[in-house]
Amino acid sequence: MTALFVVLGYAAIAIFLVGVLAKVWKYGTTPSPLKIPQTPAPVTATGVPVRMLSEVVLFKSLFKSNRVIWLAGYVFHIGLLLVVIKHYRFLFASVPAGLSYFDTFEMYPGIIMMGGLGLLFLLRLVVDRNMFISVMTDYFLILLFISIALTGTLAKHFYRVDITQVKQFMMGLISFSPMGENSAFPTETIFIIHFSLVLLLLVYFPFSKLMHSAGVFFSPTRNQVDNPREKRLVAPWAADISGNTVVSVKEEAAEAPGQA
């Protein structure tokens, strides 16, 4: 049992990391041949992170658009963030200062997360426009997240899975010494389901729309500086067809950090 989940665990993490990095590499290296910031846009390079943060932290454009979708999405993401933070105990031998604060939230992060997800699911069912655009994988992802949150909450608060054992297994995994005598895989059914679903999520992640989490930083309409009259942008392939020289590919990289 332990050996099986160790292998599955490493495989899932490897697929996740390689998959995500491959996508990020692709987003980063694909050229932007034209300046297409959504205006009004920042006119300086320092304005871009501010704009990006307002989107990533506050979902500003979504808020502008639709308060119900914003609420559903925001509640889900906040819940998810808290849940992920609360898993620190499985990854650190000793409790890092400050992180134990999150334990005071008890089971609420999981419930907050499920609340947001429930609303997102409901929106797909009751709003005809959302229904029209939804396919199986859209429903599946919400259900997958709900299942993970539900089994996690049940494992922790109702089935009282042996936390110490889970921790030892996880510590074994992350220290690359998974088959130690104390780090056996916990065999409670609810935990097996929870853990398996998380592995499934990790494997599916790089191939799914969940790549929005990394992709948003590469969105040219949001990460470009509005300075086309001052700074010339030419992509290498466009330079080739026009006989123009490449003058500002480096500048593009310099003005939007992370864009590569």
Partner 1 sequence: MADKEATATEEEPKVLTDLEKVGEPIVPRKKPNEIHPDELTGSIKIPKVQEGTAAGNKPYLCKSENMEKLGFPGDLREDWHDAAIAKMGDLLEKYKSLQVYMDICVKCGSCTDKCHYFIGTEDGKNMPVARAELFRKVYRKYFTTEGKILGKLAGAEKLDLELLGEWYSYFHQCSQCRRCSVFCPYGIDTAEISMAAREIMDHIGVGQKYTNDIIVKVHEVGNNLGMNPKALKATLESTEEDLEEETGKKIRLPLDEVGADVLMVTPSADFFASPHVESLLGYAKVFHQAGISWTFSSAASEAGNFGMFIGNYGQMQKVASRLTDAINEIKPKRLIVGECGHAWRIAYSFWNTLIGPFDSLDPNFKRPQHICEYTLDLVNRGAIKLDKSKNDHIIPTFHDSCNVARGARMGDKPGGQFTIPRDLIKASCNRYVEMDEETIMEKTFCCGGGGGLLTDDLLELRVKGAMPRMQAFSKVQESHGVNFLALICAICKAQFTKILPKYGVGMDVAGGVHQLVASAIDLGAKE
Residues 64-103: x where in contact with partner 1 by CB under 8 A, - otherwise, as a string = xxx--x---x------------------------------
Q: Is 212 in the site for partner 1 (CB under 8 A)?
A: yes
Q: Is 232 in the site for partner 1 (CB under 8 A)?
A: yes
Gyration radius from the chain CA atoms: 22
Name the minimum Å distance from CB 255 to partner 1: 14
**# residues near partner 1 by CB under 8 A:** 63
Q: Is 207 in the site for partner 1 (CB under 8 A)?
A: yes
Cβ partners under 8 Å of residue 189, min gap 6: none
User: How far apart (Å, rounded) are the C-alpha atoms in residues 174 and 180?
Assistant: 12
Q: Is 100 in contact with 60 (CB distance < 8 Å)? A: no
Nearer to partner 1, 42 or 110 (CB): 42
Q: Is 250 in the site for partner 1 (CB under 8 A)?
A: no
Nearer to partner 1, 155 or 225 (CB): 225
Nearer to partner 1, 70 or 105 (CB): 70
Q: Is 257 in the site for partner 1 (CB under 8 A)?
A: no
Q: Is 225 in contact with 45 (CB distance < 8 Å)? A: yes
DSSP 8-state symbol, 246? P
Q: Is 132 in the site for partner 1 (CB under 8 A)?
A: yes
Q: Is 137 in the site for partner 1 (CB under 8 A)?
A: yes
User: How far apart (Å, rounded) are the C-alpha atoms in residues 154 and 150?
Assistant: 6
Contact range with partner 1 by CB under 8 A, out of 86-94, 167-175, 178-186, 232-240: 232-240
Alpha helices per DSSP H over 36-162: 47-58, 60-65, 67-86, 108-126, 128-133, 136-153
Q: Is 131 in contact with 124 (CB distance < 8 Å)? A: yes
DSSP code string of 74-110: HHHHHHHHHHHHHGGGGT-SSPPTTGGGGGGGTTHHH
Which residues are near partner 1 by CB under 8 A?
23, 26-27, 30-36, 38-43, 55, 59, 61-62, 64-66, 69, 73, 123-124, 127-130, 132-138, 207-209, 211-212, 215-216, 218-222, 226, 228-229, 231-235, 237-238, 241-242, 247
